[in-house]
């Protein structure tokens, strides 16, 4: 009788450990990835704008926002996404 109880306890314990999966990313990683992606999207939006054509020249294509600020913002977004992938949260076990 004692042997069957131990087998049942083992099965229940195995079910509990099987149900809980250890994922490579935690909640913090996904939040950091989302923030990094938002920063990259903001950088691309800063780069957008009108273009020059054969009929009309648009000097805005060489603005500081489109040439310097937007690429730096995109680069920072990509760096933060790499950090989000590499980040390993502390184990509370």
Orientation angle between helical segments 27-47 and 70-86, nearest 10 degrees: 170
- pLDDT for the residue numbered 60: 85
pLDDT of the chain along its 93 residues, tens only? 555 666 666 666 666 555 567 788 889 999 999 999 999 999 999 999 888 888 888 888 889 999 999 999 999 999 999 999 999 887 666
- pLDDT for the residue numbered 90: 77
């Amino acid at each position: 009788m004692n042997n069957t109880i131990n087998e049942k306890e083992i099965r229940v314990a195995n079910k509990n450990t099987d149900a809980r999966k250890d994922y490579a990313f935690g909640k913090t990683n996904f939040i950091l990835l989302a923030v990094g992606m938002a920063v990259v999207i903001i950088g691309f939006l800063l780069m957008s704008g009108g273009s020059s054509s054969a009929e009309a020249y648009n000097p805005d294509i060489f603005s500081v926002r489109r040439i310097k600020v937007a690429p730096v913002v995109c680069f920072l977004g990509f760096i933060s996404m790499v950090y989000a992938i590499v980040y390993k949260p502390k184990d509370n076990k």
